[in-house]
Structure 1
Amino acid sequence: MHDLVTLGPWLRRFLSEHIVTERNLARNTRSSYRDTFSLLLPFISRKLRKPVDRLAVRDLSTQHVLQFLAHLEEDRGCSARTRNQRLAAIRAFARFIGSRDPAHIEWCGHIRAIASKKSMQQPVGWLARPEMEAMLAVPDRKTPRGRDEYALLLFLYNTGARVSEATQLKVRDLQLEHGNRGHDLVTLHGKGGKTRQCPLWPETKAVLAQRVLGRAAENAVFVSRLGTPFTRFGVYRLIERCAARVPALAGRTITPHVIRHTTACHLVLAGVDINTVRAWLGHVSISTTNIYAEIDITLKAQAVALCEVGQPQLGRSWKNDKDLMAFLKSL
């Protein structure tokens, strides 16, 4: 009975069993949930002046959760999106307890009733083609380190891969020896255990083939100057350093996700349909990809021109289209 009241055993089951085995959540999601409670429990412990290991489930009250969310925004400087992300983890934990112990159903309902905070959709940051080409020109390709950095930047631009997908890429995930018989491909392991394949440009294939020559299938594709696999922090630092060397990007924050947006935007501007872009980026819902349909004023101007008042209508009326009428009558 004591274990049903104490917070610790519930949290241990939630983090080590439920989200791993039952939900099979992505590694980054599990880390986010862990970080949420690493911040939340000490916060409540200080409020109640009670050791963390003695906290009860009901100590995680609505009032304390709201105070914690306010602390994230006001004291830690987190955005509304981060606040909502932490709240989602707390709600999932409450749902886990409420579904297994009827005595906590009321408490669960109160926690899950805490509303998410509305956040403004940030405009998509991306690079024009000359800016992206300037970024690619920064690494010194006369040195081994410069060639490694160039290969990583080119790969991110080619595939629109997430940072985790690039850092976890193994040599076995590359299919580079197809020549004229097929496409050179890379298999990316994305969020939620999903995989997708992306074609590689000949230039990308050439530089990657040089980088992985002689490596075992289980080795990482992208390695740092120390010979260890690139980390998320290492990729961020690389892109920051390259962006700082491009005068046109002065004052702008360039991250790996900006490179991912750049890939999507350039695909849209090249006339690739939005569903293909969705599959390219590994989005589950096309609604996530629709933000790229509004990226460029040129596309909007073209759309306005199609419905401009006073413009002559092109094409024949369907009534005069004999081929169409014959087709309809044949059905």
Structure 2
Amino acid sequence: MRSDIHTIHKRFRLTANEIDALLAAPDRRTGIGRRDHALLLLACQTGLRLSELTGLTIGDIELGTGAHVRCHGKGRKDRATPLTKQTVATLRVWLTERDGQSSEPLFVTRVGRRLSSDAVEKLVTKHAVRAAENCPTLTGKNVTPHTLRHSAAMALLHAGVDTSVIALWLGHEDLASTQPYLHADMTIKEQALARVQPHNTSPGRYRAPDALLAFLDGL
């Protein structure tokens, strides 16, 4: 039974090498490729839900000191997630190219409309298929936006981050609306982020207990 649980989780999460291959798949010589790369990197690093990704506006991205993305999650609750230097650099390039107002969608189609959930699912699938050409372990995996969310959670878990912090990170805790709480929330998350290795490094091996895998299933 235990081996079956781990087989399922291997199937529905990506390894560091698989994430690197996925991030390398978009053709960054094109505007659409740079958009897709930025979206995939943001999804892999933050673990945002699909609805949260598509709902982002330009104004939700803060790239200065304490760089973070602010999103509107379930139950109309806002939360902020810190960004790595790699994600900040990528988003800075994309925002310069996007060149829109703060209230406008962060990720848009060729004609400037907000990307739909279906469109994001299709682009993730497309790039996963292309990535499999250079990363055979991706072959046969059903890579979806939720796979990226699950993989972000596993990266935090692998780094030794407590499950309560992972739940907070992914928006599974009741968040107070006061600024003091939001500041403390960001501090906890930044400490968690500091423990996660960049996507282009080898994370080594980790075998999570069944109880933790069951927790991740509910994300």
* Fold shared per TM-score above 0.5: yes
Q: Distance in 1 between matches of 2:73 and 2:122?
A: 22
Q: Distance in 1 between matches of 2:86 and 2:155?
A: 17
Partner AA of 1:222 in structure 2: F
Which residues of 2 match residues 62-73 of structure 1 at below 5 A? none
1:171 lines up with 2:58 in the alignment: yes
1:244 lines up with 2:123 in the alignment: no
State whether residues 176 and 205 of structure 1, in contact with CA within 8 Å, keep that contact through their aligned partners in structure 2. Answer: yes
2:207 to 277, 298, 308: 298
Aligned length: 166
1:195 lines up with 2:78 in the alignment: yes
State whether residues 59 and 102 of structure 2, in contact with CA within 8 Å, keep that contact through their aligned partners in structure 1. Answer: yes
The aligned residue for residue 208 of structure 1 is 91
1:261 lines up with 2:150 in the alignment: yes
Partner AA of 2:76 in structure 1: G
Q: Distance in 1 between matches of 2:207 and 2:24?
A: 27
The aligned residue for residue 183 of structure 2 is none
1:223 lines up with 2:108 in the alignment: yes
2:172 to 271, 276, 283: 283
The structure that has the greater radius of gyration is 1
Calculate the TM-score normalised by the size of structure 1: 0.48
Identify unmatched segments of 5+ residues in structure 2.
1-6, 175-204, 210-219
Which residues of 2 match residues 1-331 of structure 1 at below 5 A? 123-124=8-9, 125-178=12-65, 183-213=66-96, 214-245=99-130, 246=132, 247-284=136-173, 298-300=207-209
State whether residues 184 and 200 of structure 1, in contact with CA within 8 Å, keep that contact through their aligned partners in structure 2. Answer: yes
Moved more, 260-269 or 271-280: 271-280
State whether residues 211 and 221 of structure 1, in contact with CA within 8 Å, keep that contact through their aligned partners in structure 2. Answer: no
Structure with the larger helix share = 1
Identify unmatched segments of 5+ residues in structure 1.
1-121, 286-295, 301-331
Runs of 4+ in 1 over 4 A off after TM superposition: none
How far does residue 212 in structure 1 lie from its aligned partner after superposition? 2.0
Q: Distance in 1 between matches of 2:95 and 2:105?
A: 9
How far does residue 123 in structure 1 lie from its aligned partner after superposition? 4.2
Q: Distance in 2 between matches of 1:260 and 1:154?
A: 11
Q: Deviations over 1:141-168 (max 9, x none)?
A: 1211111000000000111001110111
Greater relative contact order (CA < 8 Å, ≥ 6 in sequence) = 2
Three-state SS of the structure 1 residue aligned to 2:106 is: coil
Partner AA of 2:158 in structure 1: L
Q: Distance in 1 between matches of 2:81 and 2:206?
A: 28
Q: Distance in 2 between matches of 1:262 and 1:176?
A: 24
Task: Give the aligned CA root-mean-square deviation in angstroms.
Answer: 2.0
Calculate the TM-score normalised by the size of structure 2: 0.71
Q: Deviations over 1:275-327 (max 9, x none)?
A: 11111110138xxxxxxxxxx86344xxxxxxxxxxxxxxxxxxxxxxxxxxx
State whether residues 139 and 242 of structure 1, in contact with CA within 8 Å, keep that contact through their aligned partners in structure 2. Answer: yes
State whether residues 158 and 206 of structure 2, in contact with CA within 8 Å, keep that contact through their aligned partners in structure 1. Answer: no
Q: Distance in 1 between matches of 2:81 and 2:8?
A: 26
Three-state SS of the structure 1 residue aligned to 2:207 is: helix
Instruction: Check 1:176–1:250 CA distance in 2 against 1; reply closer, same or farther (3 A cut).
Output: same
Instruction: Check 1:299–1:123 CA distance in 2 against 1; reply closer, same or farther (3 A cut).
Output: closer
